[in-house]
Each structure stands twice: as C-alpha cells, then as structure tokens.
Structure 1
Amino acid sequence: MEQASETSDGIDHLALAGICHALACADELHFGRILVSLVRICGRIGDVGVAVRVLKLVDWLVSGFVESRRMRKVQVLFEVISPEKCESEGYVLFPAVMAACGGLRALRVASVRHRLDFAPRLKEAPERTIRFAARRAAVEGRPDDDQRRVLLQCVALGLTQCGPVASNDSVLRCVLMALLEELLPLPRLLRISVKSPDGNSAELAKNQVMQHQDSVLFKEAGPVTWVLCNQYSFADEKTKDYVETRVCEYAQELYHHLRAAVLLHQAKRNGLLAEIDKIAEAAFFMIVSFAAEVAKHRLDANSSGGFQPEVAVRILVEFSCVEHLRRLRLPEYTEAIRRAVVVNQDNAAASALFVESMPSCAELTTKPDLLTLDGTRYICYTDEGLFGTAPLHKSTLEQIHLGVAASPKSSLSCLASSFKNEKILWAYPGVTPFDGLASGVAALVRHLPAKSPAILFCIHSLVVKAKDLCSTAMIQDRSLWRSWEESTEPCKKILDLLLRLIFLADIQSFSYLLKELAEFVTSLPKEGQDVLLDDMHAHVAESDDVVRKPVLVSWLQSLSYISSQADVRESRNNAKNARSAGGVELSLNRTIARL
C-alpha cells in the first residue's frame, strides 16, 4: 500500500508531469476541470507515494502562480478541494488534503520569501480542507479500511510539510492515530510475530518490519511527533487527557507485546528482534518527546490546572514501560521525570496510585498471550522480561512465585527480609546464601521501573541493615577497619552490594542512593570513613559508565572533604558546648542533603 510497483510508479510519474504542465498553461475553466480529474485519478490509485507527489505538484503550481500574480488560479484550486466540493463530488479525500497541504506550504514560503501578506481567507481555505479530512480520518474504522488508513497517513505527512496550522481537536486526534497506528505500528507487528509458533510468522513479521523501516511513513515519525506536540500544546483539557491516555495505553501495549516477542524469539536468532529494535527505539523517542511536552504544560505550578498527580503517574507508567529501550541520557526524559517526581514525592495518594499501577507478578505471567509461546510455558523465574539476565537463583524465585510476593515491591520486601534468615538458599549447590540474595536484589533493582518506590525501599533497607551490622561488628572487633580487605563480615558484603548498586540502579534512583550512602559514611568513625572512601574511589576508577562517573567523581571529592572537615570539627568541638555542637551537626546534615 505504501509503495507502488516500479511500473505503475513510472506511469504515475509521467501522468502527473503531463497534468502539471497542462495545469500551468490552462485557463481558469480548464484549470478547474483538469484539477478535478487529477484528484479523481489519484484517489483511484490509492497510493501514499502518489499523494506525496500531488503535494509537491501543488506546491510548485501555487508558488508559480504567486510569483506571476495569477492569484485567481490559487482561489480556483482551493475551491476545487474545498470541503463542500469534496462532499458534493464524492472525492476520495487523501489527494485533496495533500493538495491543501501543498498549497498552504507554498503560501507560507512565499509570505516569507517575498514578504507578501495574503488575505486571511485565502490561508484559511486549505486549513478547512485539512480539518475536514482529519475529522473523517479520526472516526474509528475497521483495521482493514485501506482508504481510512491512507487518509490518516496523508494528513500526518502533509502537516509535516505545510507548517503549523490552527489547533483543532480532529487534527490532533488524527495525527495521534496516524502516529500510533501507521507510522509506529509496533504493537501490530509484534502481534504478527507471535501469532503462530512456526517460523512463518517470524519471517512474515521480519519482512513487514523491514519494509516499514524503508517507508516514508517511518522516516517521518520524528516530524509527525513534533506536529503532535504542537497541536497538543493548544488543545483543551479534555482533549489533552484523551491524547495522554492513548499514548500511555500504547506504551503499555508495546511493553506487553515486545516482552512476548522477546520471550519467543530471543533464542531463535532469526534477526527479527534486531529489526524490531529500530522501530522500538523510534517509539521510545516519540513517547519521551510527548511526555516532556505534557510535563511542561500540565506539571507546572503555574499551569491552569496546577499540579496534577494523575498526569504525573501516567508519565511514570509510560517511562516504566519503555525504560529498557533507553540508550542515551535525554534532557527531555530527565526533565519529565523530575517534574513527575516533584508532583508525587509529597503526595501519598499519587505515590500509591503509581505503585498500584505496576503490574503484579501474577498479571505478568498469566496473560493468555504470554502463557505458552512456541510450546514453552514461561513462568516467573525464566521470564527475562521481568527479571533481566542476572542469575536469579531458583529457590529464591520459587519463594516469590509461590505467593510470598504479588508485586515487584513485595518481591523486594521478601528479599530484604531475607537478610534476617539467610537459610533461603542453602540448598542451592555451590552458591552461598548471600550470593543468591545479592543476585536477586541486583536483578530486581536493575529492571524495575525508573525511580520505583520499590527500588528506594530496597536501597533504604540495605543501608539500615548495613548500619546495624557495622555497629555490631565494630563492638565485636575493634580492628574491623584495619582488616577490611580480607574481611568476610556480613557488613562488608552488604556494603559491597550497595556499591554494586551504584552502577545498576536507574538514573532517577541514583541521587537517592548517593544521599543514603553519604549519610551512612559520615556516621562512621574516621577510620571507617577512610576505608569506605578508598573502596568507592576504586569502584569509580574502574568504571566505564560515562553517565554516572563524572557525577560520582564530584560526589566523592565532596564527600572526602566533608569527612576531613568532620574530623577537624570533632577535635574542635571537644572544647565547645552542646549548643555549638548541635549547630555543627545541623550544618553537616544540610551539606549531606545537598550531596
């Protein structure tokens, strides 16, 4: 549908070239008749490639008419493709909307290039046609309705060429549908890939994915996302809510279908996942760009609606569904997360809403399309979509899977509570209880949604346990810090795990982890502070994490300075009263909080 065959493409090109010449030379009467024939012929062909050439043809014609001051022909053109004419003549709409976009583009370019000021009614005419076509396309239709699909595609592609148009509810909905259903139709392609367990579905899906990557539709996904954001920024609250909900549903659907495809195809090495990944990355950028626009308009204290927790929750849910697709640190991603977290951090109901929105372990492993793929039953401890590739040991996961936990948060609660009883993995051959426990904690922290409350709970629990174990160990062994390197004490193992989490936790949980570590380190005696600072310097020096390393270097320098100053203050404060000591402690606490 998206590309005509070479033979028909050549014929169409020649026909359009001839029509273009005839239109340029014709008088008003014949101009209108030829234009009607053009719209009818292109409507019968039903091809996006032809529609794009119509846009370019009309752009060229209107530009020529403007330069030669033949504005009456421009008016006739817009009359031929007007909503009234389209309806009375029964046109197929996609050539008309592309002609409207081409004419509008020519007027905008001419107004800048030649400093012309066109009458508002002249510029309004093609926009009316665009709104009319968008309203028709935005009506929910059958998935196999090819005319509607082509119209969705053409409205979206045309709007990337003609520049901003007046905000309109139908235009926004049409662009949204085109983006989710036609330009980035990844859920539909993924459904095809898991439709049947034999190799045919994978090959069919791979061919369709590669064909889509080569299409003009996929190449224009970025500009259409810009159109979506632009239209969204001027929409009313009700329409904004509708669009946000649709994008959130798309992100969740993408997660579930992508997860199913990975489970089925990752071991087959058929190349399908590598091809899917390219479209998935584009879908990720679309979701992030739109979420940043939403955050800017709806999560600002000065916005008309004020802070809106339900909007913040939607953004966090979207990001939790696509976090695993993130390759780069994007300013839009960071800003949207920051705004969403600010809204939720002091709102217990919103935080609870986000936690509840996280799918439970049972939900993730009992959906019909995920139970049996290619003859294999995927349960909790083999589901890498949930737990990643880290070696979670079977006996720990059986504890979770058999009802100890119903959600990722409960899973972390289960693992954290296991510090009190490390017998959980004694039966697993060749693995110490702590190794299995550490592996499970690391895997969960690495793969839970960004800044999940469960991750923060896990980090906090580990720090509390580390404080408790270190206090006990220092009482029992006063030479603990001098023999730290060779130590097998539980407190050293816990601290090693905390340092390991620095490079595993998502970037949004990073600052919380550093704050907890800073508070813990500064609570230790000077000997312990020096040992742990040396350990952390070694970890950071060996790291190749380009995102975290610059932050960690600065953080360690500041923490080392605080540690040295605290030692100086301690000796000075021996001669001071309790009040001044309290002031120093308060100042130190504030410094740590800034860290």
Structure 2
Amino acid sequence: MARKANNSFFLEEWLRTVSGSSVSGDLVKQNSAPSARSIIQAWSEIRESLQNQNFDSRYLQALRALVSSESTIHVADPQAKLLISILAFQDVSLPSESYTLVLRLLYVWIRKAFRPSQALVGVAVQAIRGVVDDRRNLQPALVAQSVLVSGAFACVPSLSGDVKVLCLELLCRLLEEEYSLVGSQEELVPVVLAGIGYALSSSLDVHYVRLLDLLFGIWLKDEGPRGTVTYGLMILHLIEWVVSGYMRSNSINKMSLFANEVLETSKEKYAVFAVFMAAAGVVRASTAGFSSGAQSLEISKLRNSAEKRIEFVAQILVSNGNVVTLPTTQREGPLLKCFAIALARCGSVSSSAPLLLCLTSALLTQVFPLGQIYESFCNAFGKEPIGPRLIWVREHLSDVLFKESGAISGAFCNQYSSASEENKYIVENMIWDFCQNLYLQHRQIAMLLCGIEDTLLGDIEKIAESSFLMVVVFALAVTKQWLKPIVSKERKMVTSVKILVSFSCVEYFRHIRLPEYMETIREVISCVQENDAPCVSFVESIPAYDSLTNPKDLFTQRIKYEWSRDDVQTSRILFYLRVIPTCIGRLSASAFRGVVASTMFLYIGHPNRKVAQASHTLLAAFLSSAKESEEDERTQFKEQLVFYYMQRSLEVYPEITPFEGLASGVATLVQHLPAGSPAIFYSVHSLVEKASTFSTESLQGRKSDPGNQILELLLRLVSLVDIQVSFFFGHLHLLELLENGYCAHTLMFSPSLYTFLFWFRCCHIL
C-alpha cells in the first residue's frame, strides 16, 4: 500500500490515510463529481473578479468550488497565471481565506502539471513570499499551504536549480519562524510534513541538513506539535516515500547524508520518537530491493544503520538487557506505542534482546493496557463518574495501535522465535503472568460492572478478546520452540503446563474456534499425557475450593458475591473440567480427592447445564480410569465418590442436572465398579426414590419428561446390574409405581419392561 505513494498526486492525503488519522484536512468539503459547467463557471467568476478588482462573495465561492473538486480538476498554466496574479495584488483587500484557497489550487497545478513553466513557478514563489511577508493575512492554514506548495515546487525535476533554491529557502524560513502556527492545529501537520517530504526529494543538496533539523526538531519546541503515534506513522511513511525515491534515482549521496545526519549521529535537538520512526521507514523502504552493485551495497549500509538506530532506541526503554522498564512517564508511553506499530509496519528486523523485551512491554502495557484500565475503574468505582473512562476505552478501540494488534503480535512472535533461550524464558513468563493478572482483574471488573455498565464492560472485553488472540498465537510459537524431540522432557512438561494454565485464565474470552488454539491444545495435552508429574502440576493449579465460593478479594466486599454468577471464574473451571479427562489415567486417587473432587461436585450444581454436563463427564472419566499402582485405593475412592455424586446430582434434578450427564455417570459407575458394590445398590435405590417423587400424572406424560427419563434409566440398568433378590424386598412400591404410573404409557415402546416386571414379581413372591 505504502509504495503506491510515489504515484499519488497529493502526498499529505496519503499520509493521513496510512497513519489512520481521523482528522480531515480538507479546506472545503470535497465534491467527487463536479460538472464541467460548474468548473468553467468558477474560472469565469475568478477571471471577472480579477478584471474588475472586485473580490466579493462570488469570487470566494468560485475558489471553494474549485478546491472542492481538486481530485478531478486539472489546472493549466494560463489558469495558474491567473491565480498568481491574484496573489500579486498589493493594494486590494482580499478575503483572508482566499489566499489559502489560491495556494491550494497552485498546489494542484504543480502536482498534476507534466512540465510546468519555470518562469511561472519563479513568479509564483515571489508572489507567495510577498503574501507571507505581509503578516496581516498570516494564518496557520496559509503557512501550512505555503510550506506544501513550496516543497512541491522544489521537487519538480524539470525546474532550474535557482528556482528550487528559492522554494527551499522560503519553506525553511516559514517553518523556522512560524512553527507555532503550524503546531496549533492538528489537521495541518500532515500538510507541513508533506511539504518537507517534497523538499527532501529535491535534486539539490542545499538546505538538506536544515530540512532534517526542521523535520526532527520541531517536535521538541515548546509551541510545536506534540509527538503522537499518528504523527509517528506519518514520519515513518514519509521517510519511506523519500528514501524509496533516493533508491530509484540512485541518489547515493542523499542516502549517505541521511544516514550520517539522522541514523548514525545522536542529536539532542532531534525528537527520539521521530528518529525512531524514520529509521523504521528506511527499513520498510529497503525491503523493496531496487538494484544491485554499488547501489545495493549503499542500501544495505543504510538499512544496517537504521536497524542499529532502532535497537538503540529500544535500549533506551530497557533498564538492562533482560528487564523491561514499564512506562512510568508520559514520554515513555508514546515511545513504546511507536515502537510497537513501527515494528509491525517495517517488516522483518534483525532480532535482539532489547527489541524483544521492549516489544513485549509495548504489547502488555500499550496495545492491551488492561492493567491500567482495571486499576482505574476499581479505584474510581462508586466515587467518580464513569463517562470519562468509557471515552478512554472507546478511543483506544478506535486507535490505529489497537487495530493493528494482530500485526504487532506477529512481529512479536517473529522476534521471540529468534531470541536466546534466556530471553525466551523471560518473555514467556511475562505473557503467562499477564494471563494470570487478566483473569484476576477481569473477574473483578466483570462483577462490578455487569448489569450496571454493560456497554463499558463490552468495550473492555473487546480489548481483552484481542489480547486472547495474541496469547494463542504466542503459545503456538512457544510450542514450536520447546515441544520438539531434541528438547528435554522437563522443559517440555513445564512449558505445556504453563500454557494450559494460561489458557484456562483466558478461556472466558474464547468465542471462536481458532486453528492455532486447537493445534496448541493438542500439542500440550499430548505432552502432559506422557507423564504423571505435568498432569498433577496442572491439576494442582485449579483455584482452591474456598477461593471459588468465598473469595477474600477486596472487591467482593463491595458486592454480594455468588460463585455461580462469576462467569469469568466459571469459564476457567470449565476449561479444567474439559482438559482433566484427557489425562485422567495419570492422576492419582489422592490428587483427585484433594484437588478435583470438591470443585467437580460444586459445579455439578452449576445452573449452566453445559458446565454441569462437563462435571458429570469428568466423574465418568475418573470412574472408567485405571492406575495399576493404586488399583485397590482407586476402587475404594470411586465407591466413596458415587454416594455423594448421586446425592448431589439428584437433589438438583431436573432443574439443573442434565439427564444426559446423570445417565452417563450412572452407566459408567455400574460398568466399572465391582459387581455387588454397595455404591451400585445405593445408586439404584436413589434413582427409585427420585422416581417415586414424581406424580402418577407426570409419569404418563412424554418420554422426555424428567420422571419418565429416570424410569427409562432404571430400565437400562436391567442389562447392566445383577440385582439381588434381597434388594427388592425393600422396594415393593416400585412395582406399584411402574404398573400404575408408567406401564400403560410405556409398554408399547419398552419391551424390556415386561422382563423387568416379571423378574420383579418373581423376586417379590420369593
């Protein structure tokens, strides 16, 4: 996209586009389809005004009409001469706006003209100088357009050196004397930058260093514009455009001069962010590959200088080679933002520790500033208006930095892949800590804002969801580094567990099925399944039961806490409930008893049936599992689990307990517990007791009704359980229940019921 700028008519418009600027720079509202008649009429009005020296409202309206059609009109030399004549008037008072509009039309002329008249350009420069010297009409827009058109004049190849020198001198003088006017209006900055860009593209070397001083020094002046990410991107692509021109025209001297003045020499009068973004622009331009031989060597040297400057700036933000200094001042924050988006835009850059660590910090504090958002809201909740913070979050969502979070994450992963083992370890821990903090802090903000500020909460979660994607992409990159045959088992196991724990923390934000997510999960689970230790380590990371039901966080003192309404926590536990069955054979009975069982039984009673179903599935997985080293202990514990399982499941059936989960659990326990187990008898007894609580009328309803489902489950058990005669002596009421309430409705589609009733009667007779 950026390299098409060389064919663009208006550089300043392209800079606005590539930087994501939302500020319009149009002098008047643009008209995309002007009629030929309206254009002719406008020129006629201007010519008549000049002849009569009567510059009234019709004249001003004609200028506006032409400028509004600047993208489609062509200004010929005779029309340019007409405009220059207007500027040259000294004794006639013109509307102040008209000077700016005339300059804009002259800019359209010079950018679209194939071979403009040198004499006409020289006269135009003198006329512009006369206008700006008369300070009565000196307005910010006039200064900016004067800089723009002077720069555009200077870069016309066919003009003589003398004319270009006049243009460059005028441009430099305007910026040196009137920079405060330019810095006062945001929409004028790209106009001025484009003017400087044109001037730097001039074939002359005169005033070159002076122009560089203006470009990189204006940001440090008290009344100059303030450095922002948007302006940084404008500088990046402006330098890309300029340097690409040097490469195409084989301007080796210009490349060498730029490298020496900007990249290889540190100047206090140059803004760090501007130099950094310029270096990124050089790297981006150099990736095109223009030529070979001596030019190629010069381009390579220029790129090396740019990469060294980028690394030098990264080192500024890193306290020592391994530890990132998080932004603590207003200066560091914008610089980190520029750092992140520059590396995303400029393409591949040689890996280094400062770059990786700095990019990590930029991601976690600037691209995804969730920690700052959470802290701000928790501190202000109930004390200050929420409106300003809502605006802050929405502004971040619309910011170009956030919109390019995917590209920034990609650049981050590329840097990580080439880093040393030590720095990889540091960065991994930073990301895993980020996931843990995201879980803890979003729990608080979700409970505080849910039902009160849902719009704000939704906006915050958009940022968090984007950070989830970053974590997934990074985790996949980590698996490609560490889950390889040549890596030690211990390193693979530790990495796998950390990824699983981190994924559990961000599970709440997973709303789509990502191939990268599924690939990572498969890789790490496969590793965990190979050994007992990682399985136990993962299971032991489950939040403690007390913290689930009665957290001691400060935020719970502000609200009435209900564990079943904590959706962030529920999502994390659901992740565990789904993953643990995949490695259940590696988990000892004692570990299941000490860590998993209480949480599993808690969430069997969760009102979300998907969560409850996962709890039933986990129990079924444990009941069907085996571990040779503890067979007796495991069997004994399974029987103990069944008693509480039936009690817990049936007390919330059918309101919460899904029948599919209950049926799966009962079928599994019957199949995998020893024949004649008291736990099996207790389960059947509990089902009979539960069935007896339903009225006869309810048992005559549909097959899918809860009571009928329980009876159907009992029928299934006929083929699975060796029911002893003594068991049925205590359940004679089941016969009445079946005959009176169920048989009439069910016999026609349950042939096995005949067998069951016959068997039951025989037992009763005996």
**Counterparts of 2:421 and 2:445 in 1: how far apart (Å)?**
36
Deviation at 1:112, TM superposition (A): 8.2
Deviation at 1:216, TM superposition (A): 0.7
One-letter identity of the residue aligned with 2:643? K
Partner residue in 1 for 2:563: 380
Partner residue in 1 for 2:248: 67
SS in 2 for 1:58: helix
Residues 102-140 of structure 1, C-alpha deviation per residue, up to 9 Å, x if partnerless?
Answer: 111111114489997335433211000010011112345
**Counterparts of 2:486 and 2:314 in 1: how far apart (Å)?**
32
Partner residue in 2 for 1:154: 338
Deviation at 1:68, TM superposition (A): 1.2
Partner residue in 1 for 2:358: 174
Q: Is the 8 A contact 1:193 1:204 kept in 2?
A: no
- Which deviates more, 301-310 or 8-17? 301-310
Residues 546-592 of structure 1, C-alpha deviation per residue, up to 9 Å, x if partnerless?
Answer: xxxxxxxxxxxxxxxxxxxxxxxxxxxxxxxxxxxxxxxxxxxxxxx
Q: CA RMSD in A?
A: 4.1
One-letter identity of the residue aligned with 1:71? I
Q: Is the 8 A contact 2:252 2:295 kept in 1?
A: no
Deviation at 1:411, TM superposition (A): 1.8
Partner residue in 1 for 2:197: 20
Match of 1:411 among 599, 606, 618: 599
- In structure 2, the CA distance between the partners of 1:299 and 1:524, relative to structure 1 (3 Å rule), is farther
2:304 aligned with 1:124, yes or no?
yes
Deviation at 1:438, TM superposition (A): 2.7
Q: Is the 8 A contact 1:298 1:305 kept in 2?
A: no
Partner residue in 2 for 1:579: none
**Counterparts of 2:488 and 2:185 in 1: how far apart (Å)?**
53
Task: Give the paired residue count.
Answer: 458
- In structure 2, the CA distance between the partners of 1:31 and 1:303, relative to structure 1 (3 Å rule), is farther
- In structure 2, the CA distance between the partners of 1:407 and 1:217, relative to structure 1 (3 Å rule), is farther
Q: Is the 8 A contact 2:493 2:527 kept in 1?
A: yes
Match of 2:511 among 314, 327, 351: 327
2:314 aligned with 1:95, yes or no?
no
Larger Rg: 2
- In structure 2, the CA distance between the partners of 1:293 and 1:70, relative to structure 1 (3 Å rule), is same
**Counterparts of 2:194 and 2:262 in 1: how far apart (Å)?**
20
Q: Is the 8 A contact 2:370 2:438 kept in 1?
A: yes
Q: Is the 8 A contact 1:190 1:205 kept in 2?
A: no
Q: Is the 8 A contact 1:169 1:235 kept in 2?
A: yes
Match of 1:135 among 315, 324, 331: 315
Match of 1:371 among 556, 564, 578: 556
More contact order relative to length (CA 8 Å, sep ≥ 6): 1
Deviation at 1:146, TM superposition (A): 1.7
Equivalent residues in 2 for 1:70-81, closer than 5 Å: 70-81=251-262
Equivalent residues in 2 for 1:148-227, closer than 5 Å: 148-198=332-382, 200=384, 202-227=386-411
Percent sequence identity over aligned pairs: 27
Q: Is the 8 A contact 1:40 1:92 kept in 2?
A: yes
Residues 217-275 of structure 1, C-alpha deviation per residue, up to 9 Å, x if partnerless?
Answer: 10110001000110111111111111111111111111111111111111215411221
One-letter identity of the residue aligned with 1:14? V
Q: Is the 8 A contact 1:55 1:98 kept in 2?
A: yes
Q: Is the 8 A contact 2:539 2:596 kept in 1?
A: no
Match of 1:54 among 231, 235, 240: 235
Deviation at 1:285, TM superposition (A): 0.8
Q: Is the 8 A contact 1:405 1:411 kept in 2?
A: no
Partner residue in 1 for 2:530: 346
- In structure 2, the CA distance between the partners of 1:434 and 1:154, relative to structure 1 (3 Å rule), is same
Match of 2:657 among 415, 438, 443: 438
Deviation at 1:302, TM superposition (A): 3.6
Residues 487-519 of structure 1, C-alpha deviation per residue, up to 9 Å, x if partnerless?
Answer: 555892899xxxxxxxxxxxxxxxxxxxxxxxx
**Counterparts of 1:494 and 1:55 in 2: how far apart (Å)?**
74
Partner residue in 1 for 2:455: 271
Deviation at 1:336, TM superposition (A): 0.8
**Counterparts of 1:105 and 1:30 in 2: how far apart (Å)?**
25
**Counterparts of 1:251 and 1:462 in 2: how far apart (Å)?**
38
**Counterparts of 1:96 and 1:49 in 2: how far apart (Å)?**
15
Partner residue in 1 for 2:443: 259
Q: Is the 8 A contact 1:213 1:279 kept in 2?
A: yes
- Which deviates more, 334-343 or 305-314? 305-314
**Counterparts of 1:20 and 1:187 in 2: how far apart (Å)?**
39
Partner residue in 1 for 2:545: 361
- In structure 2, the CA distance between the partners of 1:342 and 1:28, relative to structure 1 (3 Å rule), is same
**Counterparts of 1:114 and 1:299 in 2: how far apart (Å)?**
43
- In structure 2, the CA distance between the partners of 1:26 and 1:40, relative to structure 1 (3 Å rule), is farther
Q: Is the 8 A contact 1:316 1:340 kept in 2?
A: yes
2:470 aligned with 1:293, yes or no?
no
Partner residue in 2 for 1:464: 669
Residues 424-443 of structure 1, C-alpha deviation per residue, up to 9 Å, x if partnerless?
Answer: 679xxxx845447736997x
Gaps spanning 5+ residues in structure 2: where? Answer: 1-19, 25-183, 574-591, 605-618, 620-639, 689-699, 722-766
- Which deviates more, 26-35 or 178-187? 26-35
**Counterparts of 1:325 and 1:361 in 2: how far apart (Å)?**
23
Q: Is the 8 A contact 1:42 1:50 kept in 2?
A: no
- In structure 2, the CA distance between the partners of 1:327 and 1:425, relative to structure 1 (3 Å rule), is closer
**Counterparts of 1:305 and 1:217 in 2: how far apart (Å)?**
39
**Counterparts of 2:350 and 2:288 in 1: how far apart (Å)?**
17
Partner residue in 2 for 1:33: 210
Q: Is the 8 A contact 2:341 2:401 kept in 1?
A: yes
- In structure 2, the CA distance between the partners of 1:274 and 1:66, relative to structure 1 (3 Å rule), is same
Gaps spanning 5+ residues in structure 1: where? Answer: 391-403, 446-457, 496-519, 526-595
- In structure 2, the CA distance between the partners of 1:476 and 1:227, relative to structure 1 (3 Å rule), is closer
**Counterparts of 2:210 and 2:659 in 1: how far apart (Å)?**
73
Deviation at 1:277, TM superposition (A): 2.4
SS in 2 for 1:377: coil
One-letter identity of the residue aligned with 2:190? H
Deviation at 1:64, TM superposition (A): 0.9
Q: Is the 8 A contact 2:229 2:338 kept in 1?
A: yes
One-letter identity of the residue aligned with 2:553? P
- In structure 2, the CA distance between the partners of 1:256 and 1:224, relative to structure 1 (3 Å rule), is same
SS in 2 for 1:81: helix
Q: Is the 8 A contact 1:59 1:105 kept in 2?
A: yes
Residues 446-494 of structure 1, C-alpha deviation per residue, up to 9 Å, x if partnerless?
Answer: xxxxxxxxxxxx9889723565599868x999xx9xx997755589289
Deviation at 1:199, TM superposition (A): 7.7
Deviation at 1:42, TM superposition (A): 3.1
Q: Is the 8 A contact 1:309 1:343 kept in 2?
A: yes
Partner residue in 2 for 1:568: none
One-letter identity of the residue aligned with 1:92? A
Partner residue in 2 for 1:538: none
Q: Structure 2-normalised TM-score?
A: 0.53
Deviation at 1:406, TM superposition (A): 8.1
SS in 1 for 2:185: helix
**Counterparts of 2:655 and 2:255 in 1: how far apart (Å)?**
74
Deviation at 1:369, TM superposition (A): 3.9
One-letter identity of the residue aligned with 2:411? V
One-letter identity of the residue aligned with 2:276? V
**Counterparts of 1:9 and 1:265 in 2: how far apart (Å)?**
35
**Counterparts of 1:307 and 1:343 in 2: how far apart (Å)?**
11
